[in-house]
Each structure stands twice: as structure tokens, then as C-alpha cells.
Structure 1
Amino acid sequence: MDIDDIGRPAEFLLVEDNPGDVRLTQEALRECKLRNNLSVVGDGVEALAFLRREGKYQDVPRPDVILLDLNLPKKGGHEVLAEIKADPVLRRIPVVIITSSEAEKDVLASYDLHVNCYVNKPVDLDQFIKVVQSVGTFWLTIVKLPDEN
């Protein structure tokens, strides 16, 4: 799937509980030259409800890419990732971990659970914006994604 060819904005799901990081991600994707929509949920339980279109999320679009923090309330990022990758309906959606954790055990656990990409959140604001824009550009202009929406 080439996002430019399908006539709709790319759909991102951001799973992040830090309001500052949510705002920065929104700003970065807004400044991107790609048409995109960003949905945001603040914990792992809500993320899975969104992805499964349960309750108040029954009419949400299926995301093209999931941006997932590891340190989340209610259900951690690794648990969410495991459930996504175990679900035949969800497993093909690319999941990008964007986290402050540089721990090797988190990197290994994420790849063991079939994450598509692991990115450390830069502390510098400008670098954070550049990283988010690079992730968006990579997944939506370079990578061939399945068209399952």
C-alpha cells in the first residue's frame, strides 16, 4: 500500500500516557508533509479496545501504524505488543516502540515479541520531532504496507 495512492490520510495510533510526548508527536506529524490522522489513547487497555473496535471505539479507523510506548498504565507496552502480534486481525499492523527505555532487556523483549521497530525517545525537543517525522516518513512512503483497511 502506498498512502499517496489510496486517497486518504494515513492513520496513526499513538499509545502514550505522557501529555507532553503526545503534544510533541501531534506537532511532529502535523508538520510532516504526509497527510495523516493521529488517534491517541493513554493506556494499554484502551489501546486494545481501540484496535479491536470495542465500546466507544467501534467506528474508529484501523491504524496503518501503531506508535507504542512501553511504560503504560493498566497494561504495559510489552503486553499490548504481545496481544497485537498474537491476533490474526491485528498482527500485520506495524508497531513502532517509541520509548525512553534504553535497557537491552526491553529491546530484546520487544523484538522477541515481533515489534517492527524500536526507537529511543530523544530528550532534545527538536530531535524528538525529527525522530517522529522520520518514523512517519519511513513507514508511509518507503515501506510497502498491506492494504487491510
Structure 2
Amino acid sequence: MDDSMTSRGASTEPAPPAIDVLLVEDDEGDVIMVREAFEQRGPATRLHVVNDGIEAVAFLRRAEGYADAPRPDLILLDLNMPRMDGREVLAEVKADPALTAIPVVVLTTSAAQEDILSSYSLYANAYITKPADLDEFLDAVGKVDEFFGTTVTLPN
């Protein structure tokens, strides 16, 4: 059986194209959970991880050791990080004409209205408060992957 076959017969739907996702997250446990959520959905997502906002900006601008970094199709962004927080990253991304079209989903522990409002004011595409429950966390990230990986048309 080749890759186009499923256990129920021939697949009529073409596989969705692989997307590159930049995860900007300083909590290793959350990185592991996001990676697991994407892996559960299959190989159509290539996850790239940086641990703070300064690394995120370097990755996005292909600077400081990231010369070969792909342009991400989606950014998952934590707000509270050392050196440069997510709000500063979001402001830089949305102010840069070369980056502004990249969708940014804020994925953070904060449910504070101030953080939600400031994120949307900085043109975040979505805001998700990280669920404390593992299954709910995996489900939330899976829905983001499904939506941006298969439902929407992303800019090239």
C-alpha cells in the first residue's frame, strides 16, 4: 500500500502541504506538549522552536545563526518571556512589511483582559489561554494546527 492509500481505500483528498510553524516559548514543558500535539496530527507541520523574543526576531530576520531559517507560515507566541517579551515581538512582526502577513497566534497562560486587548491591538490573529489540563492543551494546539494547516489559505 502506498502513501495515497488508507485503511479504507484510496484517498481522494490530497495531503495538505507541510507548513512551518515558529514556536516562541521559554517553558520546555510547553514546548514538549506543543511538539506532541503537532506530532499527533501527522508530519504536515515542521515545528521550529526559539526560547525568547530576541531569538524569534533573529529567526524571522534570518540573522545571528538563523541564515537558513525558513519563513514561518505561522507563529505561536508566548507573551511572558525573558529578554524580549511576546508583546514586543508581536509589535516588531506587525510593523515589518516583510513579516506582517505571517499569522501570529498568542499562546499564553495569561487570561488577563489587558493582555488580550493589547495582543489584539498589536494585530495578533488569535489569542489562546493555555489550558491547564494536558488533553485540553493538546486539543487546543491541534485545532490551531488543523485550522492553519488545512482550513485557511496562508500567504506565500
Describe how 1:22-101 pairs up with structure 2 within 5 A: 22-33=31-42, 35-101=44-110
Instruction: Measure, in 2, the Cα distance between the counterparts of 1:20 and 1:61.
Output: 24
Shift of 1:33: 3.6
Task: Name the amino acid aligned to 1:67.
Answer: L
**Identity of aligned pairs, percent?**
51
Shift of 1:36: 1.1
| Structure 1 unaligned regions, length at least 5 | none
Structure possessing the higher radius of gyration over alpha carbons? 2
* Runs of 4+, deviation exceeding 6 Å: none
Three-state SS of the structure 2 residue aligned to 1:80 is helix
Describe how 1:104-143 pairs up with structure 2 within 5 A: 104-143=113-152
Instruction: Measure, in 2, the Cα distance between the counterparts of 1:13 and 1:134.
Output: 16
Higher relative contact order (CA 8 A, sep 6+): 1
| Alignment match, 2:9 | none
Instruction: Measure, in 2, the Cα distance between the counterparts of 1:101 and 1:19.
Output: 17
- CA-based RMSD: 1.3
Q: TM-score, normalised by structure 2?
A: 0.88
Paired residues in the alignment total 143
Shift of 1:140: 1.5
Q: TM-score, normalised by structure 1?
A: 0.92
Shift of 1:141: 1.1
